[in-house]
Amino acid sequence: MDVSLDNFLSSAISIAFHGLAQAMVLYLISVGLSITMGLMGFVNLAHGAFAMAGGYAMTTLMNRYDVPFVFAVAAAVAVGVIIGLVLERLLYRRLYGGDELDQVLMTIGLIFVTVGAATYFWGPVAQPMRPPAALSGQLEFASRQFPVYRTFLICCGAVLVTALWLGLERTRFGAQVRAAVDNNRMAQAIGINTSQLFAITFTLGSGLAALGGALGADLLAIKTDYALENLVYFLIVVAVGGLGSIRGPFVAAVLVGTADTAFKYTAPEFGAFFIYALTMVLLLWRPNGLFGRA
């Protein structure tokens, strides 16, 4: 009796822990998408490409050039920011307020381009990721073992969501973002430069995605069809969380991350089926997401 309770508890904690780590990666990547979609109503299916770019940058620097972890991650973020800035100016800006179909098609095209480009430069094999020595190994806590790197991911996630929340609630920039998400035309009417706001937010979002892709390279393998393969999960987090929100994607990511891990552990024959079913139900109940605006 005692043994099975202990096993159950062990499993539950393990699932919760790994699920939370996965959730943090999903969150890091998706939060930028939620804000930019809420801000400009732009359906950006290619968002995962920024995460992929960050992942490739970091793994290449670490594996091929022995760059230390911290610098590699910083470089990954820089890559995400630069690509985001360039693409926003060149491409995305042309389709604001446009047809949903145009946005879907352009971003699908962008995904395809990234698949081709990634295949050209890195080939079809997934990029391995080895966490630095300082973050490897196991942590001992309450007579259980927890992988250090996963703990690190969870801490990153917690720090980030706090920082973002503070940024959104306490800074002037954040106030402008909230205003523009609420009512774009009104925000423009009171003098907020929404176009510039979006460029900055988009760039930030891309940088965050690159960070998520880099840090999470262990969980979401960096390979050529990264943007396609993980698209559904990113979109689920954003849609279920609610557009234009910081908290929404966090809650949704935790739900998805832990549920996914739980189902894969308890009913692996069904894979992600239950996640999709859960998503459908949640979207039917709350079409604007858990924290979205009507």
Q: Tell me which residues touch another protein (CB under 8 A).
A: 37, 41, 43, 91, 94-95, 100-102, 104-106, 108-117, 119-120, 228, 231-232, 235-236, 238-239, 243, 269-273, 276-277, 279-280, 283-284, 287-289
DSSP state of 222: B
Nearer to another protein, 214 or 227 (CB): 227
Bridge partners of 138?
147
Phi, psi of 145 (to 5 degrees): -100, 130
Radius of gyration of the chain measured on its C-alpha atoms: 19
Q: For helices 2-40 and 148-170, what crossing angle results, to 10°?
A: 40
Shortest reach from residue 294's CB to another protein, in Å? 10
Q: Are 208 and 28 in contact (CB under 8 A)?
A: yes
Shortest reach from residue 105's CB to another protein, in Å? 5
Shortest reach from residue 270's CB to another protein, in Å? 7
Helix (DSSP H) and strand (DSSP E) numbers for the chain:
12, 2
- Helix, strand, or coil here: 99? coil
Shortest reach from residue 228's CB to another protein, in Å? 7
Shortest reach from residue 286's CB to another protein, in Å? 9
Shortest reach from residue 235's CB to another protein, in Å? 6
Nearer to another protein, 73 or 255 (CB): 255
Shortest reach from residue 280's CB to another protein, in Å? 5
Q: Are 207 and 255 in contact (CB under 8 A)?
A: no
Shortest reach from residue 99's CB to another protein, in Å? 8
Distance of CA 247 to CAs 61, 148, 288, Å?
A: 33, 26, 14
Nearer to another protein, 91 or 192 (CB): 91
- Return the structure tokens found at 198: 């979006």
Closest residue by Cα to residue 105 from 118, 95, 115? 95
Nearer to another protein, 51 or 61 (CB): 51
**Cα–Cα distance between 74 and 80 in angstroms, integer?**
10
Nearer to another protein, 206 or 224 (CB): 224
Nearer to another protein, 12 or 277 (CB): 277
- Return the structure tokens found at 203: 């760039």
**Cα–Cα distance between 164 and 174 in angstroms, integer?**
9
Nearer to another protein, 66 or 269 (CB): 269
Phi, psi of 134 (to 5 degrees): -60, -25
Nearer to another protein, 101 or 133 (CB): 101
